Structure 1
Amino acid sequence: MSTSDHDDDPTAKPSLRETVTAGLVQKALEPVLRAVRDEVASARREIGERVDGARTGLVLTGIAVGSALTTLVLLAGLVVALLALVLPVWAATAVTFVLFALVTTVLFAIGIRGIRRGVPPVPADTVRAAKDRVTHAADAPARRD
């Protein structure tokens, strides 16, 4: 007795029903896939913007550090020398140190704030929009009834 099942034959062509079903599934999934692609593109854009903000914060922090060191080296001697005309050398040095420490602290705080704004680079706006779309899509069938 020979058995020749259509389902077991790997070379058999798909039936009309299978072809139509596959086409319908593809048409049904197309808007979902397009929406997913749009959300991924939006997330990439948003992450890029946040990374740019973090990069700017890092650059400003680096400039602040370089500026603080340069200022410390170049101006410390001048300030100490000027204050030494009125105060003892140890007091002039202490005043100069406090002044430079304050400037460095302010610049560092501004740079860190910029870094925190961009890290971690989470696309919060895109996530919120996607959740809104999902909620809206879930509510749509309920409104039709």
Structure 2
Amino acid sequence: MSSTPTEERPRLRDRSLGSLIGSLPDLVSRLIRGEIQHAKQEIAAKLKAAGVGAGLLVGAAILAIIFLQIMLAAAIIALSLVLPAWAAALIVGGVVLIIVIVLALVGVKALKTGVPPVPTDTVENVKSDIRAIKGEGEYDNAGR
């Protein structure tokens, strides 16, 4: 059975310096295990949100492809009223190719900013813990 940080602090204050130093490896070990668990939870939450977003984007992309095919056919038909059909198809195809290239470049840039999913909160907590162990920082009321 583990105790909460507020229950443990008075107990630690009543102990001798020797027993506190003796319990230091256990306390550090529990701190590290807690930070690892927090990192796992943070990464899982970020990946779950990314998975839901990716699924919705795939559904939207499928419908967008169908819509785009319909609109491209309409554009080719409309343009073929003033040009030969083959010329209308080439013009519409060229415009679509330019759009594809621009979207691909923007997508690659956006993808690079989101990868890899790093547990930023946990990294900051570990840095704070290290500063506290070194005596460079103060603990607030939440124990961080």
Q: How far apart in 2 are the matches of 1:56 and 1:131?
A: 31
Q: Determine the structure 1 residue equivalent to 2:29.
A: 33
Q: Determine the structure 2 residue equivalent to 1:43.
A: 39
Q: Determine the structure 2 residue equivalent to 1:134.
A: 130
User: Secondary structure in 1 aligned to 2:135?
Assistant: helix
Task: List alignment gaps of at least 5 residues for structure 2.
Answer: 1-18, 137-144
What is the CA-CA distance between 1:35 and the residue it aligns to?
1.3
Task: List alignment gaps of at least 5 residues for structure 1.
Answer: 1-22, 141-145
Number of aligned positions between the proteins: 118
Residues 72 and 100, structure 1, Cα contact 8 Å, conserved in 2: no
Change (3 A) 1:120 1:67: same
Q: How far apart in 2 are the matches of 1:117 and 1:45?
A: 21
What does the per-residue CA deviation read over 1:7-51, in whole Å, with 9 as the maximum and x for residues that have no partner? xxxxxxxxxxxxxxxx87773333223311221122112212331
Indicate the percent of aligned positions where both proteins have the same amino acid. 30
1:54 pairs, out of 50, 54, 65, with: 50
RMSD: 3.4
TM-score normalised by L of structure 2: 0.57
Correspondence list, 1:12-27, <5 A: 27=23
Change (3 A) 1:129 1:43: same
Change (3 A) 1:133 1:28: closer
Amino acid at match of 1:82: A
- Larger RCO: 1 or 2 (CA < 8 Å, sep 6+): 1
Structure with max Cα Rg: 1
What does the per-residue CA deviation read over 1:70-105, in whole Å, with 9 as the maximum and x for residues that have no partner? 234333222110111122323321232244345555
